[in-house]
Structure 1
Amino acid sequence: MAITVKTLWNEGAEKLQLSIIAGEQFLDRKLPETTMNRPGLAMTGFFQYFANQRLQIFGLAEFTYMKSLPQAERSKRLVDLFDQQIPGIVITRNRKPSKEMIELAEKHRVPVFRTPMVTMNFVNECTVILEELTAPQERIQGTCLEIMGIGVLLRGDPGIGKSETALALIERGYSLVSDDVTEVRRNSRSRLVCWANEVTRYHMEIRGLGIIHVPSLFGVAAIRRQTELDLVVDLKNPTGNEDRTGVQPETIEIMGVKVPYITLPVRSGRDMANIVEVAALNQKLKELGHDAAKELDDKIISRLTRGRVRNG
């Protein structure tokens, strides 16, 4: 799946320490390949098999070589490079681009970035981000929040109370990722990452109230751009057959990844936000190796075993 340079900027600017120094209005250029190219050979004038669909990385070697060229030759090589319709340029080690490079970037509508990172470190980090951004993704129904570092996806039939529960959790200081529709992809660590569609990001629909803008009402701490998914919670009308112990944990498979899953019955007067909050905190304890249901089950079995031994 091809992405744009803007997608990389939005998702990786902070981690890659990127700043835009030219062509900010041209971020919609396609980035067809996840690998990067160091155009050292191209700067010698050899453009056969040049990887023009890749992000071009100018490191110390490329800059040193360019400076060694006569002005006329350097200008010709830069013009030839930009004529290849490259998607973008990243300059590492905070090197300052020449005025000529900036002018050519604007003329050819090519964005130019700068980072203080060492070239090899940047290439490694950026490759991981690009591979994750181009990984297969799905759009699923549900409202996603981050609760104490735990990514929770609330699912349920329309009108069951997902958004109202999420709103109550936001009021308690937790963060909204997406409302009603959640984008999901699998990352390089075989974890699922959730985020909101750009159109609906930061907004919620509350029945009877309409659309609200979450950061305007609750502050920027009330939203997260994305989170890893740790728990899926289904809100359902009660059937009487709900699990009461949690000794046998359930999972649900999404994009080939098994995620812990629980079903919570919704009843009138029941504080669903409080229960979802406790479910998230309990999941956090499980990830730390503390499973209350299993520990109690083990204690009961141990007590019964000792009782049978004494009676025997």
Structure 2
Amino acid sequence: MKTVTVQKLKEAFHLEVLAADSHMDRVITRPRTHRPGLEFVGYFDFFPMNRVQVLGRKEINYLLTLTVEERKLHIGNVVKYHPPCFIVTSGQQEIPYLILFCEQEGIPLLRTTETTTEFIAKLDSYLIKALAPEISIHGVCVNVSGIGVLLRGKSGIGKSETAHTLIRRGHRFVADDIVVLKKLGPATLLGTHNETTR
């Protein structure tokens, strides 16, 4: 199973670490984020605890309406499931109670200045690509007018020559010899290179 560490997310999105910086090696295995709104009011029937938990203005403003005791209870109920990390959006500041809980439980708490909607769209896209099932196959991949074309066949049959001809006609080269195919969705494949042939 493919994984991404919280540290890798921090670096990719230039996130600020607010708590549990010694636990940045925690792994993310699920490709989509989650906003724990219903969980903060006590509904846990479908809580995807293995996903990155994103706290936007709605979640933080709701928590601020609670008494100190209620806040402890509601946050404690979510934190005990130990999700990979929490990310607070929009640069929100009034979260010392959240910092305390995450520090105690060893769950990284990070912050971004981006808005919730923009950040979730970028993070979901990143995680879908990073965690997508993939295989490596022998062939040549080129981008022909925005569509990936995979050339396969026996060695010496002319795959590279065909790719060179397409490149000379203005199309784009993607990978030669080893092509990595990632399944991004039910009908979407992404052809790319591996790190060795990059």
The unaligned stretches of length 5 or more in structure 2 are 137-145, 149-160, 168-172, 182-190, 194-198
Alignment of 1:181-196 (within 5 A): none
C-alpha separation in 2, matches of 1:53 and 1:136: 18
C-alpha separation in 2, matches of 1:258 and 1:130: 16
Alignment of 1:47-86 (within 5 A): 47-86=44-83
Alignment of 1:21-40 (within 5 A): 21-40=18-37
Q: Which amino acid aligns with 1:13?
A: F
Q: Work out whether 1:3 is the aligned partner of 2:4.
A: yes
Task: Look up the match of 1:128.
Answer: 125
Q: Which amino acid aligns with 2:176?
A: I
Could you list the per-position Cα deviations for residues 100-140 of structure 1 after superposition, in whole angstroms to 9, with x for gaps in the alignment?
2112111111001111111010000011111222235679x
Task: Look up the match of 1:13.
Answer: 13
Structure 1 contact 92–115 (Cα < 8 Å) conserved: yes
Higher RCO (CA-CA < 8 Å; seq separation 6+): 2
Q: Which amino acid aligns with 1:5?
A: V
Structure 2 contact 29–131 (Cα < 8 Å) conserved: no
TM-score by length of 1: 0.44
Q: Work out whether 1:252 is the aligned partner of 2:176.
A: yes
**Measured at CA, do residues 71 and 137 of structure 1 come closer, stay the same or move farther in structure 2, by a change above 3 Å?**
same
**Measured at CA, do residues 68 and 137 of structure 1 come closer, stay the same or move farther in structure 2, by a change above 3 Å?**
same
- C-alpha displacement of 1:70: 1.6
SS at match of 1:86: coil
C-alpha separation in 1, matches of 2:98 and 2:13: 21
- C-alpha displacement of 1:78: 0.8
The unaligned stretches of length 5 or more in structure 1 are 140-188, 192-242, 260-312
- C-alpha displacement of 1:22: 1.0
Instruction: Say what the alpha-carbon RMSD is for the aligned residues.
Output: 2.9
Question: How many residue pairs align between the two structures?
Answer: 154
- C-alpha displacement of 1:97: 4.5
C-alpha separation in 2, matches of 1:33 and 1:247: 40
C-alpha separation in 2, matches of 1:258 and 1:5: 24
- C-alpha displacement of 1:99: 2.2
Q: Which of residues 84, 87, 94 is equivalent to 1:87? A: 84
SS at match of 2:37: coil
C-alpha separation in 1, matches of 2:88 and 2:4: 21
Q: Which amino acid aligns with 1:23?
A: A
TM-score by length of 2: 0.68
SS at match of 1:37: coil
Could you list the per-position Cα deviations for residues 254-273 of structure 1 after superposition, in whole angstroms to 9, with x for gaps in the alignment?
125488xxxxxxxxxxxxxx
- C-alpha displacement of 1:98: 2.5
Alignment of 1:151-170 (within 5 A): none
Task: Look up the match of 1:100.
Answer: 97
